[in-house]
Structure 1
């Protein structure tokens, strides 16, 4: 694919995962910042006309079609640039298990941050319940990673990009300590050139 894509993002949120993945893939793309309060792009375009769901990430393809949902964008990136090795090929149980992990992060961690981020008026009881649930999910990730460098072995994949966003958010938003292997994973991914470039482009600090 030679045509540039457009990635609609807001600094440091879930759009960070496909941002990193696009850079890992060597894709040509234009990052387009969205103000999530005004729902306007940096050029003043109405983001609701681009993505009626009203949230990032969104990825405009060369034909004008707009993809949404973090896990879907990650799968699209991995499958569009297979030479980058960012996911197992379709057609076997290895890919099914890979997508299972991707979905786990999306449903059990990513959406679990709502009481601390986007849910208005979340009470302390709701936050306490969510915190305990998230801690249990993080522990499952720690067991899953074990002593490996990355979540699908020794090579970086889009699964690691999503896990990086989720664990970074957990650590920062909840001020929660990570198990040692996950803390090491977070530091490892933060040092990758694609991550460093994505942080610089979004104007955020590690």
Structure 2
């Protein structure tokens, strides 16, 4: 997809938000098995602030930008971690609908299925190594 300057800036803005506010700011600490209780408590307080921004933006929209982009692929990946980190997307209906709709896209569903197989294989390797 060729983007004009304004579109490119919006894409960069969303990639920055996803990478810093969601990926690193929310899900890295929540998925860390060694995270201290106070870190988890602090992070859970920040979840709503960040997902409220996303909820407002996605309300009435199909994608982050005018059409599916790399930012959507990244966001659906990060939102997939919600189920493993105790974040209930139902509190943000537009975010949840976006996630479900985007995850059903054939290319996204295929990528997620392939990634899940790799994840399970890695989990099995770790269990075997711990024995």
Task: State the TM-score bracket (shorter-chain normalisation).
Answer: 0.7 to 0.9
Structure with the bigger percentage of helix: 2
- Residue 158 of structure 1 corresponds to 70
- Residue 57 of structure 1 corresponds to none
Gaps of 5+ in 1: 1-84
Residue 114, structure 1, aligned to residue 43, structure 2: no
Instruction: Give the structure-1-normalised TM-score.
Output: 0.51
1: CA distance, partners of 2:81 / 2:89 = 11
Deviations 1:42-77 (A, max 9, x none): xxxxxxxxxxxxxxxxxxxxxxxxxxxxxxxxxxxx
SS in 2 for 1:152: coil
- Residue 99 of structure 1 corresponds to 12
Instruction: Give the structure-2-normalised TM-score.
Output: 0.77
- State the number of aligned residues: 116
Contact 1:108/1:134, CA 8 A, preserved across alignment: no
Residue 200, structure 1, aligned to residue 95, structure 2: no
Name which of 177, 183, 187 aligns with 2:89.
Answer: 177
2: CA distance, partners of 1:159 / 1:130 = 23
Structure with the bigger percentage of strand: 1
Tell me which stretches of 4 or more aligned residues in structure 1 moved more than 3 Å.
none
Name which of 133, 140, 153 aligns with 2:53.
Answer: 140
1: CA distance, partners of 2:77 / 2:87 = 15
RMSD between superposed Cα atoms in Å: 2.1
SS in 1 for 2:63: coil
2: CA distance, partners of 1:92 / 1:177 = 32
Gaps of 5+ in 2: 120-131
